[in-house]
Amino acid sequence: MTDKKNRVFGSEDGIYTDFKEKMTYGDYLQLDTLLTSQKRLSDHHDEMLFIIIHQVSELWLKLIIHEIQAAITSIQQGNFQASFKMLARVSKTQSQIIQAWDVLSTLTPAEYMEFRESLGNASGFQSYQYRLVEFVLGYKTPYILKIYENDPQFHQTLEKAYHAPGLYDVAIQALADHGLSINTDILQRDFSKSYEKDTSVEQAWLTVYQNTNKYWELYQLAEKLVDIEDWFQQWRFRHMKTVERIIGFKTGTGGSSGVHYLKKVLEHYFFPELWEIRSKI
């Protein structure tokens, strides 16, 4: 028996081979469900690529949401070091999503057009998790909620995040908690509205950057936010260029203006003051 095992596993005599009553790797990850969720609607070879890229991206988005929401709680509790670890993980995860566009860009326009009609009106524009990422970062758009009115569970989760403070909101509160002067209207604002830049917030961040030793944790937090925004903009840019490469300036399957819409959102900033102060430090 030992000789037989050694021929298969070398010197790894302790490897388990009997899983009649034990949980396997596949059981733990529910691979039977995960690996049978790629259901092509056409016979085209490249539709498998299209499905997997988007499914993998949704898994990474799930992790990003998980980490940002935990970071928000940590910042509210004053546990900055824990939040830094979570936000650093978000940035690393974002880099993985960006690289996914390089794989999708191997799909040519001619190949995509052979199965595009099978998608109907399904579009990444409708990604529930992508919108949730925007909400937890503080970018709130009311029309997005209407897309999910037919799904009570998704709608409830999005609506909760829509009215809750985002990552930047708790960062601004942290500035105030450290004695920096913040406009009361900003601290007490309606969190269901997208944040708009404020001079008191800009001055507070400028003070932090000019006194990094005194406000070291706030300085670290600011740089973590800049990392996330930087990666997010790179993701948006790669998304836009990949779409342009594959479908040009056609209308998106979900009815959006496609590349035109993606170019427009490139102009949006989640944390505007953190970028503007760089010219004033």
> What is the C-alpha separation between 215 and 271, in angstroms, rounded?
18
| Cα angle, residue 16 at apex, residues 14 and 20 outer, rounded to 5° | 155
List the one residue out of 277, 253, 257 whose CA is nearest residue 112: 253
Residue with tokens 């969190």: 191
List the one residue out of 170, 143, 1, 184 whose CA is nearest residue 78: 170
Annotated binding-site members: 50-54, 112, 116, 239, 253
Annotated binding-site members for heme: 239
Annotated binding-site members for substrate: 50-54, 112, 116, 253
- Number of residues that this document lists for the chain: 281
Count of CB atoms within 10 A of residue 217's CB?
Answer: 16
Amino acid identity at 254: G
Check: CB of residue 193 under 8 Å from CB of residue 178. no
